[in-house]
Amino acid sequence: MGRSVPRETTSNIFLAAFERCPAGLLVADRTGTIKIVNGELERLCGFSREELVGRSVDLLVPAGLAGGHAGLRERYMQHPTARQMGVGRELHARHKDGCEIPVEIGLSTVDTPDGIFVVATIVDVSQRRDLEERLHQIHKFEAIGVLAGGVAHDFNNILQGIAGNAEAARRAAATAPQAVAALDVVIESARRGRELVNRILHFSHNSVPSRAVIEIEEPIREAIRLLRATLPPDIEIHEAFDAATPVVMADPNELHEITMNLASNGAYAMRDGGGVLDILVEPVMVDPAFASARGEMRPGPHARLRVTDTGVGIPGEVIQRIFEPFFTTKPPGEGTGLGLSVTNRIVRSLSGAIDIFTRTGEGTRFDVYLPAALTNRYRDGNGDVDGCRERRILLVDDQPQLAMLAQRVLESAGFAVSVHTSGAQALAELREDPDRFGLLITDNSMPRMTGLELVERVLAYRPGLPVLMVSGARGSVSPEKLEVRGVTRFLAKPYLANELKAAVREILGERE
């Protein structure tokens, strides 16, 4: 027979298992006073061990339920049995910051010479609830697919009748400019209606639309033209387009649909008193912290579409649900609840994100972020050619506007450009694949890590990599010192687009 494990060893094993358990554990006496907790419970609720031990378990009960918890605890202690709580029900634990965490709780009792103790197992089910919610949304979109498949044929026939008759009426009204303009809007709307049906069918079958590298200005301008023709006169549209906005990988119809959906919602919010609808397209550099807080978004240069209205705002109880399929606050006949849900899905499929800022009585702003298109292919006089290392450029400038301007100039010349606004970001990408790039372009005057410091670190990973240094501080570093530090060529700011392209081609040994 084997020897029994000494009591002291057994105790140590159980204490170690208690501490390392992946679920939150606490032990309380029959009065609800906490005696022991493990590390996972500290992480889950935000309280330290010292803040919990000796306090009532009511500390972990949400404020709205704390009053009745003592009675529930007393009834449990009268007939203590092992039980699992929270399965199929909404149970929450209180975090130190006051928020509520969805949990499942298991209870069991241990009878000791010192009395009965309750062992509670607390499991954070936030991620599971999130997955369940995503699955719920998927099922809703499947329902959209069934619905769309059933009506698409008939609806397209209706649209064909509208478009065909509108075209006939347009020919007949050729001498009436106002009628022709109105019929052009009808024809264009019918075409967009057909594309909307196709878009819903694309989503329902998880197919990918025809995407290419495009400038986002034209499809958005087209949407604005349609909006001007259909919105009431007491709603003004103000538009602004920044020429430095990067190109994106998208289908023009997707951008048109995003704009129409957001603008239509803004116009509906101003239906009673009129107002101003602002539509702004601009470049923006997304930092890693901003991106990580928004799921699958990537840091780096983005195009931002900002749609702002001066309407009634979105109530707090509604804003959490506005992207749900079929959810709408509009009365029957005025909305289906598909516009924002489809918009959200388009943006996510483009690896982008949507932010919402709203205040009751003051209006709402939607910010749509779409990642700048970076391609490893370029076109020459003979057609598409696989991108090569020499034509991939790592570009660093702490001024996002200047970085994006340089990116557009170089991409128009067929180069693939990866943009960063700090040396640390650029260095991190280079470390992943030191041989990926054929040229480094960096500003010199940057915070935390200067251009020269970046060059030194980059060349340690990739000796011999050509470097183009750009700077507005003329004469701050002599050409001899730049050469010694590994800089191939210096280009002074401000420079013209042709000067930048010429400098890059000269370094890489290319001809015009």
On the question of pLDDT at 216 being above 50, the answer is: yes
Say which residue, 256 or 401, is predicted with more confidence: 256
Instruction: Give yes or no for a contact between 418 and 374, defined as CB atoms under 8 angstroms apart.
Output: yes
Residue 2 covered by a domain: no
- pLDDT value of position 197: 67
Residue 319 covered by a domain: yes
On the question of pLDDT at 474 being above 60, the answer is: no
Among 36-50, 51-65, 95-109, top mean pLDDT goes to 36-50
Stretch 497-504: mean pLDDT = 86
For 237-283, give the secondary structure using H, E and C. EEEEECCCCCCEEECHHHHHHHHHHHHHHHHHHCCCCCEEEEEEEEE
- pLDDT value of position 440: 92
Q: What 3-state DSSP class applies to 2? A: coil
On the question of pLDDT at 332 being above 60, the answer is: no
Q: 393 and 499: one domain?
A: yes
Residue 394 covered by a domain: yes
On the question of pLDDT at 1 being above 50, the answer is: no
Say which residue, 197 or 15, is predicted with more confidence: 15
On the question of pLDDT at 272 being above 50, the answer is: yes
- pLDDT value of position 88: 45
Instruction: Give yes or no for a contact between 109 and 119, defined as CB atoms under 8 angstroms apart.
Output: yes
Q: 341 and 448: one domain?
A: no
* Residue 406: pLDDT band with limits 50, 70, 90: confident
Burial degree of 112 (CB within 10 A; 0-12, 13-18, 19+): exposed
On the question of pLDDT at 369 being above 90, the answer is: yes
Q: Which pLDDT tens digit goes with each residue over 334-348?
A: 444 456 877 888 888
Residue 338 covered by a domain: yes
> Tokens for 17?
């298992």
Provide CB contacts within 8 A for 174, sequence distance 6+: 180
For 331-396, give the secondary structure using H, E and C. CCCCCCCCHHHHHHHHHHHCCCEEEEEEECCCEEEEEEEEEECCCCEEEECCEEEECCHHHEEEEE
Q: Which pLDDT tens digit goes with each residue over 42-55?
A: 988 899 999 999 99
Rounded Cα gap, residues 245 and 404, in angstroms: 7
Candidate from 178-192, 194-208, 316-330 with smallest mean pLDDT: 194-208
> In whole angstroms, what separates CA 40 from the centre of its chain?
29
Say which residue, 155 or 283, is predicted with more confidence: 283
- pLDDT value of position 202: 57
Residue 106: strand pairing partners: 84, 121
Domain-ending residue, one of 371, 387, 421: 371
Candidate from 157-161, 162-166, 267-271, 501-505 with smallest mean pLDDT: 157-161
Stretch 95-118: mean pLDDT = 85
On the question of pLDDT at 367 being above 90, the answer is: yes
* Residue 240: pLDDT band with limits 50, 70, 90: very high
Q: 214 and 363: one domain?
A: yes
Candidate from 210-214, 233-237, 262-266 with smallest mean pLDDT: 210-214
> Tokens for 26?
């606490």
Indicate which CATH number applies to the domain containing 257: 3.30.565.10
- pLDDT value of position 195: 67
Rounded Cα gap, residues 408 and 402, in angstroms: 10
Indicate which CATH number applies to the domain containing 36: 3.30.450.20
Burial degree of 363 (CB within 10 A; 0-12, 13-18, 19+): buried
* Residue 373: pLDDT band with limits 50, 70, 90: confident
* Helix (H) or strand (E) run with residue 232 in it: none
On the question of pLDDT at 368 being above 70, the answer is: yes
Provide CB contacts within 8 A for 454, sequence distance 6+: 396, 423, 426, 427, 440, 442, 446
- pLDDT value of position 238: 94
Residue 1 covered by a domain: no
Rounded Cα gap, residues 303 and 419, in angstroms: 13
Rounded Cα gap, residues 458 and 3, in angstroms: 62
Say which residue, 63 or 148, is predicted with more confidence: 63
Indicate which CATH number applies to the domain containing 484: 3.40.50.2300
Among 197-201, 202-206, 283-287, top mean pLDDT goes to 283-287
Instruction: Give yes or no for a contact between 58 and 70, defined as CB atoms under 8 angstroms apart.
Output: yes
- Structural domain including 166 reads 131-371
Q: Which pLDDT tens digit goes with each residue over 6-35?
A: 666 777 787 888 888 888 999 998 888 999
Instruction: Tell me the percentage of the chain whose pLDDT exceeds 70.
Output: 77
Burial degree of 65 (CB within 10 A; 0-12, 13-18, 19+): middle
Stretch 430-457: mean pLDDT = 85
Residue 465 covered by a domain: yes
Q: 108 and 214: one domain?
A: no
Domain-ending residue, one of 329, 349, 371: 371
* Helix (H) or strand (E) run with residue 494 in it: none
On the question of pLDDT at 319 being above 80, the answer is: no
- pLDDT value of position 340: 80
Nearest to 120 by CA among 133, 98, 103, 101: 103
Q: 357 and 214: one domain?
A: yes
Q: 385 and 364: one domain?
A: no
Rounded Cα gap, residues 329 and 340, in angstroms: 12
Residue 50 covered by a domain: yes
- pLDDT value of position 140: 63
> Tokens for 506?
């000269």
Rounded Cα gap, residues 312 and 500, in angstroms: 48
Q: 295 and 433: one domain?
A: no
* Residue 142: pLDDT band with limits 50, 70, 90: low
Stretch 125-150: mean pLDDT = 68
Q: 259 and 389: one domain?
A: no
Q: 365 and 291: one domain?
A: yes
Domain-ending residue, one of 124, 154, 178: 124
Q: 416 and 502: one domain?
A: yes
Q: 166 and 45: one domain?
A: no
On the question of pLDDT at 479 being above 80, the answer is: no
Instruction: Tell me the percentage of the chain whose pLDDT exceeds 90.
Output: 11
Burial degree of 436 (CB within 10 A; 0-12, 13-18, 19+): middle
Maximal C-alpha separation, the chain: 108
On the question of pLDDT at 84 being above 70, the answer is: no
Stretch 401-424: mean pLDDT = 83
- pLDDT value of position 380: 34
Report how many domains make up the chain.
3
Global confidence as pTM: 0.45
Q: Which pLDDT tens digit goes with each residue over 434-446?
A: 788 889 999 888 8
On the question of pLDDT at 259 being above 60, the answer is: yes
Residue 439 one-letter amino acid:
L
Stretch 455-474: mean pLDDT = 82
Stretch 70-79: mean pLDDT = 71
Q: What is the mean pLDDT of the chain?
A: 78
Residue 252 covered by a domain: yes
Buried b (16+ CB within 10 A) or exposed e, 278-309: bbbbbbbbbeeebbeeeeebebbbbbbbbbbb
Q: 304 and 402: one domain?
A: no
